[in-house]
Amino acid sequence: MKKTLVSLILGLTLSSAAYAETWKFASEEAKNDVQDIYAQKFAEVIKKESEGDIKVRIYYYGQLGTENDIVELASNGTIQFVSVGAGHIGSYIPEIQALSLPYLLNADEEAVHEVLTNSKSIYNGLSPKFEAVNLKLLSMMSEGDMVWGANKPIHTPADFENVKIRTFTSAIPTETYKVFGATPTPLSWGEVYGALQLGTVDGMVNPIYFIYNAKWHEVQDYLIFPGQQPYISTVSASSKWFNNLSSEKQTMVNKAITAADKAAFDYQVRINSENMVKIREESPDLKVIVLNEEERGEFIELSKSLHDTYFDLVANTYPESEQTAARQNAQDIVNNLGREIKAAAKNLE
């Protein structure tokens, strides 16, 4: 194990030799996925602003390990940047799982984008939690609405009985599908196609663009749009490394983040639409269900209990003397996010 780690770090170091500086950016996704578009735009701006002195090298899913592995690499300073879904980073920062609560951020895409890039609840309330594990939260992005895949129609919680659904590895996504009546099965995304094909799991949940790129629609009979929530990714830097940058380089990073935010948002809107068309063309027998208001209402009602689950989860990660304050902070995060998303949606009317 030590030999493997030394080889990884040596390889990362040698790859930096050709430029004055090489910054390493690891993503949980593959080439041409939304996080890749984000990383590519980020790299493009950094190269331009540094007049070619700084290269951003992008690592894709599996090249440096799993989702949890690349978060750990950023936290310990081996790489400079990491992008992973909020559902994966929740093991490190329990408060971030507020963003995994269903039907909390289920507004217009532009309203969600506004909150994810400018929210005081996120950047004032959550940033210190990232700093505590040596991560600097730089931004968040939506990759499109989450869609359920299944091999039978799902309209109500009762339809989820005996359905094994692939979820992310942190607690709130897992508890969500328990509450909905399914059997949640956390898996890294590289394992999902085979698990669906073999029947190890019966369903999954992801944005349409990703379902198509991963070819999961090939091993599902139904796609269900529950109007539940977007898939939310985080972009972070290794905090100590970032804080030691010159003010000029920090400004450069922030400029690149702003450009990447827009590029990824525009791309996800387009690619989700285009890939839905491709799915319909390539899998004409696959059936698409959009839950109506009454059907969504059943899942919304069940979701309310998850707020207490989230508050307890956050509180229990702290010493007993700090649990009351931690629970109140978690409540504030949820309440403030709810207010911010409503205000953002109203401003777009």
Sorted by where each begins, the domain ranges of the chain are: 2-143+231-271, 147-229+273-347
Q: Please determine, for residue 4, whether its predicted confidence score (pLDDT) is greater than 60.
A: no
Q: What is the pLDDT of residue 237?
A: 98
| CB-CB contact of 142 with 265 (8 Å) | yes
| CB-CB contact of 249 with 238 (8 Å) | no
Task: Please give the helix or strand (H or E) that residue 320 lies within, else none.
Answer: none
Q: Right CATH number for 147-229+273-347 from 3.40.190.170, 3.40.50.150, 3.40.50.1110, 3.30.390.30?
A: 3.40.190.170
| CB-CB contact of 345 with 108 (8 Å) | yes
Of 56-60, 73-77, 107-111, 334-338, the range with the lowest mean pLDDT is 107-111
Mean pLDDT estimate for the chain: 92
CATH topology identical between 2-143+231-271 and 147-229+273-347? yes
Look up residue 268 and give its two tokens. 């996800």
Q: What is the pLDDT of residue 1?
A: 46
Q: Please determine, for residue 6, whether its predicted confidence score (pLDDT) is greater than 70.
A: no
CATH of span 2-143+231-271: 3.40.190.170
Cα distances (angstroms) measured from residue 148 to each of 110, 123, 165, 328:
22, 30, 9, 32
Phi-psi region of 165 (alpha: psi -120 to 50; beta: other; left: phi over 0): beta
pLDDT (tens digit per residue) in 227-258:
999 999 999 999 999 999 999 999 999 999 99
